Each structure stands twice: as structure tokens, then as C-alpha cells.
Amino acid sequence: MGTESNSLPTSLTSIAKTNSMSRQVEIYDTTLRDGTQAENFNLSVNDKIRISRQLDELGIDFIEGGWPGSNPQSVEFFKTMQGQTLKHARLSAFGSTRMFANAADKDPNLQALIDAKTPVITIFGKSWDIHVYDALRIELTDNLLIIEESLRYLRPHASQLFYDAEHFFDGFKKNSEYALATLGKAIDGGADCLILCDTNGGMLPHEVQPIIEQVQFFVQERGAKVQLGIHAHNDSETAVANSLLAMSLGVRQVQGTINGYGERCGNCNLTSVIPALALKMDCDSEAIRRVSKLTETSRLVDELANLPSNKYQPYVGRSAFAHKGGVHVSAVKRNPLTYEHIEPEKVGNIRRILISDQSGKSNVLHKARKFGINLEDDSPIIASIIKELKELENQGFQYEGAEASFELLMRRALGTQRNYFQLKGFRAFNSKRAMDQPSETEATIRLEVGGEEVHTVAMGNGPVNALDGALRKALIHFYPNLQEVELIDYKVRVLSGEHGTGAKVRVLIESRDQHEQWGTVGVSLNIIEASWQALVDSMNYKLMRDEHRQKM
């Protein structure tokens, strides 16, 4: 059934026509689902909620939250998100077509998608006949049936219904007639958008174009009012290229992940696709209009996943606009266009002249405005903040996921940060009285508050928990509102292996109260010391914010 496609690339005229006019496109993020399939990439429910908020701030159109029928964490995420309000993005639940043995209304997977109560539902189905025979072990006509019936059943339960045509390009190359037939059944089932997937990531751009053009002709011939999307994996290092080519041909929706995380070699990297669409291809979307938030989004995802940022990543990497000595620096100082393809500020990044004290000035001013700090462009304080920031970054501090610590740093440099308490000393130790019993941790803290010294002891289920308990016990008498602070996440990253188990570590702590959520950071060769730094910043930030609220 069907024939192999050996079509050669057609004229690039259509690309030029598309680029000559601005058009609306859609950005679909699957970091929380496809991205989490990457090796060593793990997110808690709180991480996923925080990333969802950031993606919403970035202007992402669709956020794929996960597969609600696959694990309890996904179920918890969707339940929690039912109580959240997104300003722009629409949440999507992801799943598969029904099992052949189940009727649509009895299929647990389809029911889980409905129970997630998301405005968007995305399901995938098989496009490649080898998967129908070897994976599903059903007949080709049976697969067509479950595609149409699954979508038709879900149609009343979603304001937008998307169909991911899994392995579409490979399937088309082997049996184009059948691959197109699966799309036809998705159209009949009521799909709003057909997403063509390069699931194995093996396609090259010259293969993608003729296939997309034949799909466009197929949809046009049917008279279907359905959009097309692209979902590319990066096993051939062409996911971004394939996606941009698809968009240049008139495909409406691009799917991918922040920083390109995903199974095996990853997914299409949205941090490369979005600025290309925004700054080079004259496309329009909310994320394109907010592209200046891209770098902070990229680094926040890295930090919450507890993975190091790729400094050499295009657009958002720390080295993307870094210039080191010689002819480049001289030319860039005269005219940045000599060695930069875009202005770094457009994507929220900064130019770094590695031997210059001016590096980071625009970033500091941007943060000052965000924090409501009055800082003039020519203030000498900026240079001192940048100098301290560089010194701290050399020690291992990073502030992308710990903006509360950075705000405190700026306010200390300005001399406006109140000293709420002063540490005199602390101690934390573990003991294990019996091998079949859990360890016991005790922390002791000495503080001075307003000239009064306080000495407290607390037990905990670990040194950080014990320190947190002792710190609160010492301070709550003076600052009762600290009872509202909840420590919701704690991450440790080893920064280098130079000293073996004595390596320097960075601790990121996430806290919240009834008003907001904030992140703080600490760095030390001693994990307890690093944790203490982050804890102290968390309490100081809470006290500072409450003080500012009282003045408003």
C-alpha cells in the first residue's frame, strides 16, 4: 500500500514569499513533558509550576504539561494548575490515541486527558506502518479507526485539539499514501492542528521541504481548515534548521523545548527558534514580542533542573556575545555589528567584553528597574555592583534562579538594605545512635538582633532543616511574620571536582509566603555554609519585602 517518496527539493521561491510578509505563528513548548525525558533532567511539581509561570511571562502560546495518565506527579501538576491563572499561555495535556481493545469512552488514557481539564488536548498517533504492525500489532485500517475515533471523542472536551503525527516523516518516506491517510483521519476526527513529527530526529532539511509541500497540497485538496505544525528531534543536529524551514514554508506552529532538552539528543531548541522567527523571519507571536525575556527563561530552566547552563548556546549562552581581546574587542567597541549578528539585549542577554569593567551595565540597570530601585545610568554604584557581581560569579554564584539574593546584593551596595540580624555563630551535627534508626540532626545558632543576643537549638531531619528551624526559633520573637515563610525546594550542585568530596557547591533554595515565591543562593566548599547563606538571604528578603509593603 503506497509508494516511497523520492521527491527532490523544489524551488525556494515560496520561502522568499513567506519571508516578505509578517505572519502570525504559534509557539508550543513541551519542556515539561518531552524535555523531562532527557537524561538527568528532573523537575518537581513546584519546578513545573514555576517554569509554567515563566513560560507564560515569555508569551509562549501553548504549554504541554505532561501526560496525565502516565504518573502521579503529572496528575498532581494538572490538579494544581486548575487553581492557577495563566495570563496568555494555554495549558495542554498530552496522551495517545485509545488502545484498540478499548472503546473510546472506556479508555483510561482518554479519560485522564479529559480529567486534566485543560483548554488544549494533544494526542499522538502512528503514521509509520512499521509502528502499526510492530508496536501496536494491529492492522493499518485499525490504526486509522482509532485515530479518528479518539479525536472525535475528545473534540467536545477541548477548545483546541492537536494531533501529533508521530514518526510522520519516516512514515512518509516509506509509505506516503498511508502517512497521508492518517492525517486525513485526524482531520475527520476534528483536529485543529496536524503536527508533523520527526520523532527519530534523522531528517535533513532537503528532505523536509518536499514532504511538507506535499502535505500542504493534500490538506488544500481536501478543503480542510486545519493548521500544520512541526515537532523535530535533534539526533542529526538539524531540529532547529528543519523547524525554521518548515515555518518559512508556511507551517503555523512550532513545537520544542527550552534549551533543546529532550530524549536522546534532545528536541528542537526554542531558545534558538524564537529569536530567529522574531528577528530574522518577520513572524509575529506573543513570545516574539517578549523575546527579551528569553535568556532569563533559559537560565531559570537550567537552574531548576539542576543542570549547568551551556555557555556556548546561541542567543542565550553567556558566551554568545562575549568578546575576548584583540581585533574583535576593538571593532565591537566601535560598532557591535562587526562581530554580532543581533543586539544581545533583544534576547535579554548582555555583551561581555571580558577585559572591560563595563560588562553587564545594562543588565544591572534592567534589574534595578525590575526591583523598583532608583539607579541612574551614570551612577558610580553600577561599577561597584558589577565588580562585586563578577567576583561572586568567579566564586560560583549564579543569580538566574535566585533573584532575591541579587536584589539584596544591589540594595547592600546602595546602602539601603537594613541589617535585620547578625550571625554570631552556628553549629550543626549528625548522629546515628543505631544502624536501624534514622540519623538525628541538631543545629545551634547564636544571633544578635537589635543588640540582644539569642541562642537557640533545633532538631531536624537533616542539617538544613535543623538550621532553618533554629533560625526561625531565634527570629520569630522579633519578626513574627517569618512564620509565613515556607521552604519549598532545595538544590545542590557540585561546581567542580578539583577537590573530590571537598568540591565547592552551590545551593539554591526556593521559598514562598502568602504573597510570592523567591529564590536565594549560597556558595561554599562547605555545604552547610552554602545552605546557611541561602537561608539567611531568604529570611532577609522576606523581612525586606514586608517592610516595603508596610510603607506602600
User: Who's near 336: CB < 8 A, 6+ residues apart?
Assistant: 343, 351
Q: How far apart are CA 80 and CA 451, in angstroms?
A: 44
Q: How far apart are CA 355 and CA 37, in angstroms?
A: 40
Strand order in the sheet with 440-449: 422-431, 440-449, 452-460
Per-residue pLDDT reduced to its tens digit, 53-106: 999 999 999 999 999 978 889 999 999 999 999 999 999 999 999 999 999 999
Residue 357 confidence (pLDDT)? 40
How confident is residue 11, by pLDDT bands cut at 50, 70 and 90? very low
- Is the whole-model pTM more than 0.75? no
Per-residue pLDDT reduced to its tens digit, 138-190: 999 999 999 999 999 999 999 999 999 999 999 999 999 999 999 999 999 99
- Assigned domain for 429 exists: no
How confident is residue 254, by pLDDT bands cut at 50, 70 and 90? very high
DSSP state letters, 287-321: HHHTGGGHHHHHHHHHHHTT----TT-TTTSTTTT
Q: Is the pLDDT of residue 309 over 50?
A: yes
DSSP state letters, 346-398: GGT---EETT-TTTTHHHHHHHHHHHT----TT-THHHHHHHHHHHHHHHT--
Query: Residue 139: which CATH number?
Result: 3.20.20.70
Q: Average the pLDDT over each of 6-10, 25-29, 327-331 and give the range with the smallest value.
A: 6-10
How distant is the alpha carbon of residue 327 from its chain centre?
Answer: 36
Per-residue pLDDT reduced to its tens digit, 450-471: 899 999 999 998 888 899 999 9
Q: Is the pLDDT of residue 362 over 80?
A: no
Per-residue pLDDT reduced to its tens digit, 105-148: 999 999 999 999 999 999 999 999 999 999 999 999 999 999 99
Neighbour tally for 459: CB within 10 Å: 12
Residue 18 confidence (pLDDT)? 41
Buried b (16+ CB within 10 A) or exposed e, 325-361: eeeebeebeeeeeeeeebebeebbbbbbbeeeeebbb
Q: Is the pLDDT of residue 498 over 90?
A: no
Q: Which of 349, 353, 327, 325 is nearest to 338 (CA)?
A: 327
CB 135 within 8 A of CB 126: yes
- Assigned domain for 530 exists: no
Q: Is the pLDDT of residue 352 over 80?
A: no
Per-residue pLDDT reduced to its tens digit, 230-243: 999 999 999 999 99
Residue 501 confidence (pLDDT)? 54
- Mean pLDDT over 514-534 rounds to 93
Q: Which of 517, 515, 475, 525 is nearest to 495 (CA)?
A: 525
CB 230 within 8 A of CB 196: yes
How confident is residue 364, by pLDDT bands cut at 50, 70 and 90? confident
Q: What residue has cell string 534558538?
A: 272
Number of domains in the chain: 1
Q: How far apart are CA 124 and CA 33, in angstroms?
A: 13
- Assigned domain for 183 exists: yes
- Assigned domain for 414 exists: no
Q: How far apart are CA 385 and CA 366, in angstroms?
A: 13
Q: What CA–CA distances, in Å, run from 5 to 162, 164, 173, 186?
A: 26, 21, 5, 22
- Assigned domain for 259 exists: yes
- Assigned domain for 490 exists: no
- Name 476's bridge partners: none
Locate all alpha helices (DSSP H) within 6-127, ordered by sequence: 13-19, 45-58, 72-81, 108-115
Per-residue pLDDT reduced to its tens digit, 267-283: 999 999 999 999 999 99
**Grid cell of 126 as nine digits:** 502512528
- Assigned domain for 9 exists: no
Per-residue pLDDT reduced to its tens digit, 399-451: 878 889 999 999 999 999 999 999 899 998 888 777 877 788 999 999 999 89
DSSP 7: P
How confident is residue 2, by pLDDT bands cut at 50, 70 and 90? very low
CB 520 within 8 A of CB 534: yes
How confident is residue 34, by pLDDT bands cut at 50, 70 and 90? very high
Q: Which of 176, 179, 114, 118 is nearest to 147 (CA)?
A: 179
Residue 96 confidence (pLDDT)? 97
- Domain span including residue 55: 24-304
- Assigned domain for 463 exists: no
Q: How far apart are CA 203 and CA 56, in angstroms?
A: 31
